[in-house]
Amino acid sequence: MINSLPISEASNLAIHALAAIHNLGAGKRLSVAQIAKVLDVSQSHLAKVMQKLVKAGFVDSTRGANGGFILAKSAKSISLFAVVKVIDAELKVQHCLFEEPRCTEENCVIAQLQQEIGAVVVKRLKEAKIADIKVTFKREELLH
């Protein structure tokens, strides 16, 4: 599937990991292994993403047998835009469909369309919160 949004794989993973913690954690800590199992992703890749989320203050982490991750902020206060900014530093909205532009942007209807779409994407990412993501996972999967 082609990703039409200017969101990296790591940002997508971060958003889904936060949604998993919010939807499945219910105040309990979830380990990287549990989150990775639910999302069917690499534990090592997820661990790197989770470190960035801890550093940004979105989640708290505890080591040990009862350790794991828990939201440090309300899911209602964490925008998808803030998560993407933490992971990717900036949102890369493509203005030209060519790798190297062939024309000037002010005359290009595609570049103008891309800018308009980019503005809508940024607006929606700022409005959407982790709490808005209602994900259904198999809870039993976390227990094994």
CATH number of the domain enclosing 42: 1.10.10.10
What domain range is 50 assigned to? 9-89+129-142
* pTM metric for this prediction: 0.84
What residue has token string 């900014």? 85
Indicate whether 119 belongs to any domain. Answer: no
- How much is the pLDDT for 138? 58
- Can you read off the two tokens belonging to residue 74? 């309300």
Average pLDDT rounded to a whole number, residues 72-86 = 95
Indicate whether 42 belongs to any domain. Answer: yes
- How much is the pLDDT for 94? 67
Q: Are 13 and 45 in contact (CB under 8 A)?
A: yes
Burial of 127 (0-12, 13-18, 19+ CB in 10 A): exposed
Spatial separation of the C-alpha atoms in residues 8 and 87, rounded to whole Å: 8
Query: Looking at the 3D structure of the chain, how many domains does it have?
Result: 1
Indicate whether 99 belongs to any domain. Answer: no
Q: Please, which pLDDT band fits residue 67 given cuts at 50, 70 and 90?
A: confident
Indicate whether 106 belongs to any domain. Answer: no
89 Cβ neighbours under 8 A, 6+ residues apart: none
Indicate whether 123 belongs to any domain. Answer: no
Q: Residues of the chain with pLDDT > 70: what percent?
A: 87
- How much is the pLDDT for 25? 67
101 Cβ neighbours under 8 A, 6+ residues apart: 95, 108, 111
- Mean of the per-residue pLDDT values for the chain? 85
- How much is the pLDDT for 144? 47
Indicate whether 100 belongs to any domain. Answer: no
Q: Give the tens place of pLDDT for each residue, 116-140.
A: 888 888 899 999 999 998 877 654 4
Q: Give the tens place of pLDDT for each residue, 34-63.
A: 999 888 899 999 999 999 999 999 999 999
Indicate whether 117 belongs to any domain. Answer: no
User: Which whole-number Å values give the CA distances from 11 to 5, 24, 100, 111, 139, in the listed order?
Assistant: 11, 20, 25, 24, 24
- How much is the pLDDT for 6? 72
- How much is the pLDDT for 140? 45
